[in-house]
Structure 1
Amino acid sequence: MRKIKYKKGRKLHSFNLEYTGIHKRTDSEMQLFVYDDANLSEYEDFKVVDLAKSIDCKKINWLNIHGLNDIDLLKSVGDYFKIDDFMLADILNTNRRTKVEEQHDTLFFNIKSLLPAEDTDNISVEQISFLIKDGILISFQEKRSDFFTHIRELIRTHSGIVRTKKADYLLYILLDAIMENFYITIENEEDKIEELINQTKNSTDKIILEKIEKHRDNFNFLKRSIIPLRDSLYDIKSMKEDDVFNVIEIDNFSFFSRLHQKSLELLEQIESDMGSLHSASDYYFSAQSHKMNEIMKTLTVVSAIFIPLTFIVGVYGMNFKYMPELEYEHGYYTIIGIMILIVVAMIYYFKRRRWF
């Protein structure tokens, strides 16, 4: 899992344009959708030089950028759309917290997309950023992924209402698609927790405790990622009363309210799952304690049985010259018989008391 170190991350100047993520070998590519209710134009392998002739301000324009290594490309896009350098720096700096920010006619939003890593207990992280202004939505992804494949198909096939809405609705369904990844990640963690709970009932292997702590870290990481998202969505809800900033239509604020409600549900689910992890941890320690008690009980019983035998052996191991039993013809067999009787009697007594 790539940890997001909000406080201890590498410190960059607000205007220092440098990509800090891990996908440094991903080539930068652009894709453009220009559409309205009646028409759609789609451009693959789009170039910056084609922006002027392809962007239609009377329609909705979705420019999607994969890969953040080409700083010159991002600068060119920023210059064309008049994007401040500090926003570009936030897009490139993947150590930043999820946030929403408005400036003049531009709304900036970045979010962490989380998904389970394949064949491990880790969580893969990707930062996705959005800029929306004047019917134009620009999305920035660290690498090519299929988060928005179904949204592209909705646009191509004119399904749903996306083609009839403005760019703010497109932002809503993109954010909703990313939030679905949180549900997928949490569901994957829940399946592993259920498996761990079953393992604690059959084994006390210390690897189980290590896995429990690993998934506890994962849930804490999920929580740290969702809390700033919740706050950012609440900030968007609060913009409804702002008469100056109107990138989001009044009727569409209800959609972002739904996302805010989803973030609250995600946090509640995480709290519930962390409670299940805590129960699994308690069960593990209870099983360990029970196993230790069983061992100690067995050792105690064995010790208790050998105490009188040790006493007898100790008595007849003393080197006194005059000990009557030493000259008794059947003394050895008599003492052995007494010791056996003592063992049998003690075992019978312990069984009656159900001590083992």
Structure 2
Amino acid sequence: MRKIKYKKGRKSQPYSLEYTGIHKSKDSEMQLFTYNDTFFSESDDFVIANLDKKQDPHKNYWLNIHGLNDLELLQEITTHFEIDNFLLSDILNTTKRTKIEEQDEVLFFNIKSILPTENSDNISVEQISFVLKEGVLISFQEKRSDFFTHIRERIRLHTGIVRKKKVDYLLYILLDSIMENFYVTLENEENNLEELINTTKKSADPVILERIEKHRDNFNFLKRSIIPLRDSLYNIKNIKFDNVFNAIEEDNFSFFDRLHQKSLELLEQINSDMGSLESASNFYFSAQSNKMNEIMKTLTIVSAIFIPMTFIVGVYGMNFDNMPELRYQNGYYTVIGIMVFIGVVMLIYFKKRRWF
């Protein structure tokens, strides 16, 4: 079973800063989008010193960071935006489960982005974290990827309503894009599952059982990833009523509710697929058992045919002097004929009984 490696996370103290992911060779890069309904600007390879301490309240800021290896840069970001170091340690510690946390005027959300590995039964995992403040959204990715390419294009071309909304809506569409990866991964697993079910009907190769167990681990991993996501999305509803955090507009809570419904749909589909996987596993063992039964039936029929022949051979193999049949001129051919006759009769009898 796939297990999350907590060893490094346990060694890290709450306020210690150490990136625990696998993409340690990726340099940290920043990209800033500044936009509203009538204004847009984009800055690649952005430097945090170029950002004014006070943002324009009429503009939205999306700061996207690729790579989590430059701790000095990340601390500079958290200091500029007055983000607690405790949240930064959660961003760097990729063993953390999906969660949502509200601190004063900051909403922290981290999520696992999951995609199938090409030409493999494995699943690739990347942790993506978000920090939402009034007018500012900061996203932290372990490496450069194309998860949000279409969202960047929507901002650049002013398509949809993203530039008419605040950054809480941007957070929604970013999370929605990540959740689409769950659907892609689940669809890939379902295709593999269908292939496995068809293969089990044609072959009893032990490799099939290994693949079944591998995909069972994948489904369990997907389930373990979605359950905390479902809980976190449900907890956003509580923010609506606490009257403390105001960075999410009241009209936009319905969008997060849609994400919660998607998480429930994913879990239901995973449970259904795991049932199908269990059926494939049972079918494999049933096929193996039936094959063994056929082998045993064949061996039993062969043994049953040769038992009377063995008896005859055993009788005439005894070393008694007074055995008159031993002196018959055609005794050998007679006994052979009787043995063949018995075998043929038994074969006809077994065939009529449909034992083979």
Q: Give the alignment's TM-score, normalised by structure 2.
A: 0.98
Which residues in structure 2 correspond to 1:1-356 (within 5 Å)? 3-5=3-5, 9-52=9-52, 55-356=55-356
Gaps of 5+ in 1: none
SS of residue paired to 1:63 = strand
CA positional deviation for 1:177: 0.2
Measure how far apart 1:56 and its partner are.
3.1
Letter in 2 for 1:348: I
Say which is worse superposed, 71-80 or 48-57, in terms of deviation: 48-57
Q: Confirm or deny: 8 A CA contact 1:6 1:97 kept in the other structure.
A: no
Whole-Å Cα distance in 1 between the matches of residues 2 and 221 of structure 2?
A: 10
Indicate if the aligned counterparts of 1:172 and 1:256 stay in contact, CA closer than 8 A. yes
User: Is the alpha carbon distance of 1:320 and 1:197 closer, same or farther for their aligned partners in structure 2, counting shifts above 3 Å?
Assistant: same
List per-residue Cα deviations over 1:72-126 (Å, max 9, x = no partner).
0000001100110110000000000000000000000000000001111000000
- For the residue of structure 1 that corresponds to 2:51, the secondary structure is helix
Indicate if the aligned counterparts of 2:134 and 2:246 stay in contact, CA closer than 8 A. Answer: no
Aligned mates of 2:7, 2:216 — CA distance in 1: 21
- Look up the SS of the partner of 2:114 in the other structure: strand
SS in structure 2 of the partner of residue 52 of structure 1:
coil
What do the CA deviations read for 1:318-356 (whole angstroms, capped 9, x no partner)? 011111111111111111110010000000100110101
Displacement of 1:52 in angstroms is 1.8
CA displacement at 1:242 relative to structure 2:
1.1
Distance 1:124 1:79, change over 3 A: same
Amino acid at match of 2:247: V
Q: Distance in 1 between matches of 2:221 and 2:289?
A: 30
Q: From the superposition, tell whether residues 155 and 54 of structure 1 become closer, same or farther in structure 2 (CA, over 3 Å).
A: farther
Please report how far the alpha carbon of residue 58 of structure 1 lies from its aligned counterpart in structure 2 after TM superposition. 2.7
Distance 2:10 2:306 in 1: 66
Note closer, same or farther for the CA distance 1:251–1:266 as it changes in structure 2 (3 Å cut): same
Mapped partners of 1:229, 1:8: distance in 2: 23
* SS of alignment partner, residue 14 of structure 1: coil
Runs of 4 or more above 6 Å deviation: none
Aligned partners of 2:279 and 2:43: how far apart in 1? 53
Q: How far apart, in 2, do the equivalents of 1:8 and 1:280 lie?
A: 37
Q: Is contact 2:61–2:136 with CA below 8 Å preserved after alignment?
A: yes
**Structure 1 residue 8, shift from structure 2 partner:** 8.5
The alignment-based identity, stated in percent, is 73
Residues 251 and 7 of structure 1: is their aligned pair in 2 closer, same or farther, counting only changes over 3 Å? farther
Partner Cα separation in structure 2 for residue 144 and residue 54 of structure 1? 28
Distance 1:68 1:8 in 2: 16
- Judge which range, 6-15 or 197-206, deviates more: 6-15
* 1:219 alignment partner AA: F
| Amino acid of the structure 1 residue aligned with 2:105 | D
Structure 1 distance, partners of 2:250, 2:29, is 34
- The 1:27–1:153 alpha-carbon spacing in structure 2 relative to 1, beyond 3 Å, is same
Cα distance in 1 for residues equivalent to 2:60 and 2:300: 80
Give the deviation of 1:9 after TM superposition: 4.9
Cα offset, 1:4, TM superposition: 2.6
CA contact (8 A) 1:34 1:55 kept: no
CA distance, structure 2, for counterparts of residue 235 and residue 347 of structure 1: 73
* Partner Cα distance (2:6, 2:30) in 1: 29
User: In the aligned structure 1, how far is the partner of 2:133 from the partner of 2:323?
Assistant: 108
Give TM-score scaled by structure 1 length: 0.98
